[in-house]
C-alpha cells in the first residue's frame, strides 16, 4: 500500500513539473507573438556587394533608432546570414528577416514613449501676476 502512495506522489510531482514547463513555454510563445503582432515580418534578399550598413540604410532608414542598434538587432536575428560568423560579411542570396522597428523602439525607449499626462489649463494672467515688468 505504501509503495502505491509513493508512486502516485512521485507521478504527481512529475506531472506538476511537466505542467509548469508547458505553461512557461506557452507564456514565452505568447510574449513572442505579442511582439510580432501588428507588423508583418519583412524580409530582404541579399544581393552581391551588399553590406550591413547598406541594408540598414536602405531598409530601415526611417527608424528613430541609431544605426548600431539596428545592426545589432539584425545580426542577432539572422546569425546564419553572415560568413564565418563575421557580422561584416553578408552571404549573397541570404534572406534577412528585418527586425520589428516598433518592438525595438519600445525595448530601447520603454516608458519614455508614454504620452505625458495633460496638465490642466492654467490662466496665464494669474501665473504672471507676480512677475516684474521692465520697460
As averages over each run of 10 residues, the pLDDT of the chain (135 residues) reads 61 73 51 50 89 90 88 90 79 90 84 58 67 78
DSSP reduced 3-state for 128 = coil
Torsion-angle region of residue 118: left (phi > 0), alpha (psi -120 to 50) or beta? beta
- Grid cell in block for residue 82: 553572415
Q: Domain-by-domain residue ranges, the chain?
A: 1-37, 40-110
Does the domain at residues 40-110 carry the CATH identifier 3.10.350.10?
Answer: yes
Residue 45: per-residue pLDDT: 93
Question: What is the 8-class DSSP label of residue 47?
Answer: P
Lookup result for grid cell 539584425: 74
Cβ–Cβ < 8 Å for 53, 67: yes
Question: What per-residue confidence (pLDDT) applies to 134?
Answer: 80
Amino acid at each position: 500500500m505504501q509503495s502505491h502512495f509513493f508512486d502516485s506522489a512521485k507521478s504527481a510531482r512529475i506531472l506538476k513539473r511537466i505542467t509548469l514547463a508547458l505553461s512557461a513555454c506557452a507564456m514565452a510563445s505568447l510574449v513572442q507573438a505579442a511582439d510580432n503582432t501588428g507588423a508583418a515580418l519583412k524580409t530582404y534578399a541579399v544581393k552581391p556587394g551588399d553590406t550591413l550598413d547598406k541594408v540598414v540604410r536602405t531598409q530601415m532608414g526611417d527608424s528613430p533608432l541609431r544605426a548600431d542598434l539596428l545592426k545589432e538587432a539584425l545580426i542577432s536575428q539572422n546569425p546564419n546570414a553572415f560568413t564565418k560568423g563575421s557580422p561584416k560579411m553578408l552571404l549573397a542570396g541570404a534572406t534577412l528577416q528585418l527586425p520589428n522597428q516598433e518592438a525595438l523602439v519600445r525595448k530601447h525607449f520603454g516608458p519614455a514613449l508614454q504620452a505625458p499626462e495633460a496638465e490642466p489649463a492654467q490662466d496665464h494672467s494669474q501665473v504672471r501676476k507676480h512677475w516684474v515688468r521692465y520697460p
